[in-house]
Structure 1
């Protein structure tokens, strides 16, 4: 499969914003009285989280999936062919960085050509998932997938499954479908996503790849069947792949048709756009360019931190700060993961963070805090690359633990998760990522890195809270789906292993000095076996995947 030919085509399509979808998973407590809520919000601002909290279920499923990815890593990292193949990706990324203008400045009102809108899936205001549209086949069949920086494989659900609630792939209606004879088994918690590896034309973010291998899931556990996603598109390093194939993004890097060897993500907050329709459905991802922060201002430039082990997007979390002071014992390696909703911390780190506000860790790893104990704003921030990035308190509260509304269920989880090399790690999910623009780069000063840029809205939490309190009512909490799932269009392409189009650069000025200045620390970043590769690729891609 590593020798299969590919054909790529960048297509310039009109991009329309997808709207948010609210999934009514929890029943709200009765009553409209304005009890005191977290950090001064009225109680009706937050739902009651009943038994079967979806954040706990999702956490357990996510940890099982990460364990499966680590198993793939430990197998693949000893495969010399796999190591050489991924070294080619890093070498191509370094060349792209040298000849490119760097990641573009963010935009505030329009989606770049290489961008893709994402759909917020929220449960009574709590952001549970973000989905992006993708098409497969000829003619194209639409799907809505989780762009996941914590895994590497691409898979969708097979039409043979009895699953009327999802978009299903029908190979019989695609003229470009091919079988490979391979199979995959990705673990995600209570069960697996099991199926066969096939090939077809795939279009994502206005790029089209012919003969792209992906998984066609013929067996799915109930956890997946109950969610709105049609599958996953992995955005992590392919060394984690159970299918032994390059990721969609890595193929674009190898072809060297991107403006920059990075992709970026902007995740909007459902609780913001309940009262600000201009922000609705504004989450997006951009390949080779900066995501668009709609009607949002950013503070400062991009702050970069080197990837320490390039399996997941793993970096060093310097610490967690409360009111500007780093809490002792909160430094830890961390995975920056769009596929995780919560902030998942090693037990000692979670205990230190929760103790700072007199919160409690439960035996199942969840956390809660008494309503009465929160008399002022706890201003938490995560510190990366010497810079503290503030977390909006809205993102730290999932809801009330029960109908008494005496305690809040928090989005901080205590879990003994392990990294690719067995080290204790944190998993930094959407709780944090909604507060920053995030850039995932395969080559920043010649090495993989993650960049963050603070969103100003997260710094103005006090004034924002005051405005939201006056508007919060039970009726304003979403209780039914609103909006529709958007799908990308497709374009015809020539097959045969040649590049037939080049990606258009997104509009906008070059990166600011603060985001383009290189740090010497990146020259010595440890990347395990990857290191500094010496493989040279030709300008045309003869054998990619």
Structure 2
């Protein structure tokens, strides 16, 4: 992984004169709000639609079928890059289908890792010196023995198991974790000892969970998320996801940027630990939805996905690809969903996710596989500034122009 000093890492204070928020013992802040730019994942070589769908299914416990697994390998096999007369080399897609990551510093002196900010989970876990070398190859790792501030949390373990039985697990340390201008002095850092192939084949060095701490998987005592630890040092108890299409975008902590105007708000039901709210669509009725930066696609109820693609000429549910496909030159309709008293529009251009071969493309909206809620992943989040407001237990969406 490319270190921060050679990447596009940038922390921007939203206002140079902004006073620091009220401090809490575990956090050190140099600003009451800050913006952190995501960096390009240098290991990302292409989008794999079936892979993105399988990853989302696995995350939420939906069984990943043999057909979908075969579709992933089919896409990989067609992604061959020809370089003149030098032969063929395989361009293997990122196992986590993540094009942009966030640089994070852990330990004393700082160890730099590139992590995925995930509002659909609540664990901060990383590849580490304890991870089997065959699994950690190609990753930057956290080595607690090289940090003077690390302390093992005796008896604490963690285990994340997905619906396809892939998993990651290990032990837990507390250490200094810095993102942007704010440091948590004793953040729980979950050190991976066992990592499934799903994660090992990816290029991110771990995850920063930004859902609610109630679903943290550390036992016997769940740990607070990084955000919950720093929230008292922010000017406002919120963060904003400003994700963008084919450019890194950023996360803003402690303030709502001026570019976010005409914000629509909806109350959050956090009883399951997610950023979940009630919404509706004119093509699918009312339903619950989760805003998840750690999922690429929109996973909609089967009827809602079917209703959307009924509006797309030639679209079909392809058993070989494991999802809906359509002609790549097709102009897709917008997808709209309500937030409070208004609605957000996801441009059809964002729904055209990835080439699927033979002139067809894989859709960014796919069936949820029976989940009791819709997942609004990056396809939807890129259409708006999304405000995750823990102070008022609400979520805001501000349409991008």
TM-score by length of 2: 0.76
- Paired position in structure 2 for 1:415: 368
Native 8 Å contact 1:417 1:426 kept in 2: no
Preserved CA contact (<8 Å) 2:26 2:186: yes
The structure whose residues are more often helix, as a share, is 1
Give the Å deviation of 1:59: 2.8
Structure-2 separation of matches of 1:431 and 1:226: 23
Cα pair distance change 1:355/1:192, threshold 3 Å: same
Q: 1:380 aligns with which of 335, 358, 361?
A: 335
| Distance of 1:123 and 1:194 partners within structure 2 | 24
SS of equivalent to 1:200: strand
Q: Is the aligned partner of 1:339 residue 2:314?
A: no
Q: Is the 8 A contact 2:123 2:208 kept in 1?
A: yes
How far residue 25 of structure 1 moved from its aligned partner, in angstroms, is 3.7
Measured in 2, the distance between the counterparts of 1:127 and 1:167 equals: 18
SS, match of residue 251 in structure 2: strand
1:288 and 2:254 are equivalent in the alignment: yes
**CA distance in structure 1 between the aligned counterparts of 2:49 and 2:60, rounded to whole angstroms:** 16
CA deviation string 1:319-339 (max 9, x = no partner): 1xxxxxx22x34211000000
TM score, norm. by length of structure 1: 0.57
- SS of the residue aligned with 1:318? strand
SS at match of 2:170: strand
Q: Is the 8 A contact 2:52 2:297 kept in 1?
A: no
Cα distance in 2 for partners of 1:201, 1:178 equals 10
CA–CA distance in structure 2, aligned partners of residues 340 and 14 of structure 1? 24
> In structure 1, what is the Cα distance between the partners aligned to 2:302 and 2:29?
45
Q: Could you say which structure has the higher strand fraction?
A: 2
Cα distance in 1 for residues equivalent to 2:106 and 2:242: 25
| Contact map agreement 2:305 2:367 (CA 8 A) in 1 | yes
Quote how far apart the aligned CAs of 1:381 are: 2.2
Q: Distance in 1 between matches of 2:98 and 2:368?
A: 19
Quickly say closer, same or farther: Cα 1:438–1:17, change in 2 above 3 A.
Answer: closer
CA distance in 2, matches of 1:59, 1:400: 14
Q: Distance in 2 between matches of 1:211 and 1:24?
A: 32
Deviation larger for 380-389 or 335-344: 380-389
CA–CA separation in structure 1 for the residues paired with 2:354 and 2:384 = 23
Among 239, 245, 268, the alignment partner of 1:307 is 268
CA contact (8 A) 2:150 2:174 kept: yes
- 2:178 maps to which residue? 203
* Residue 383 (structure 2) aligns with: 435
Displacement of 1:414: 0.6
Deviation of the 1:123 alpha carbon: 6.5
Alignment-derived partner of residue 317 in structure 2: 361
2:34–2:253 contact (8 Å) kept in structure 1 = no
| Residue correspondences, number | 336
- Cα distance in 2 for partners of 1:342, 1:356 equals 19
- Aligned equivalent of 1:137: 107
Structure number with greater CO (CA < 8 Å, separation at least 6) is 1
Alpha-carbon distance change, 175 to 19 in structure 1, aligned in 2, over 3 angstroms: closer
User: Aligned pair in 2 of structure 1 residues 55, 22: CA closer, same or farther (>3 Å)?
Assistant: farther
Q: Any stretches of 5+ residues in structure 2 without a counterpart?
A: 1-23, 63-91
- The DSSP-based 3-state class of the residue aligned with 1:236 is coil
Residue 127 of structure 1, CA deviation: 7.4
CA apart distance, 1:342: 0.5
Show the counterpart of 2:10: none
Aligned to 2:141: 168
Q: 1:470-504 CA deviation, whole Å, 9 max, x = no partner?
A: xxxxxxxxxxxxxxxxxxxxxxxxxxxxxxxxxxx
Which protein is bigger by CA-based radius of gyration? 1
Displacement after TM superposition at 1:449 (Å): 0.8
Question: CA 1:6–1:196 in 2, change beyond 3 Å: closer, same or farther?
Answer: farther
1:178 aligns with 2:143: no
Deviation of the 1:16 alpha carbon? 8.1
Q: Distance in 2 between matches of 1:361 and 1:147?
A: 31
1:316 aligns with 2:316: no
Gaps of 5+ in 1: 27-52, 69-121, 271-279, 320-325, 419-423, 457-545
Whether the 8 Å CA contact 1:22–1:123 is kept in 2: the answer is: no
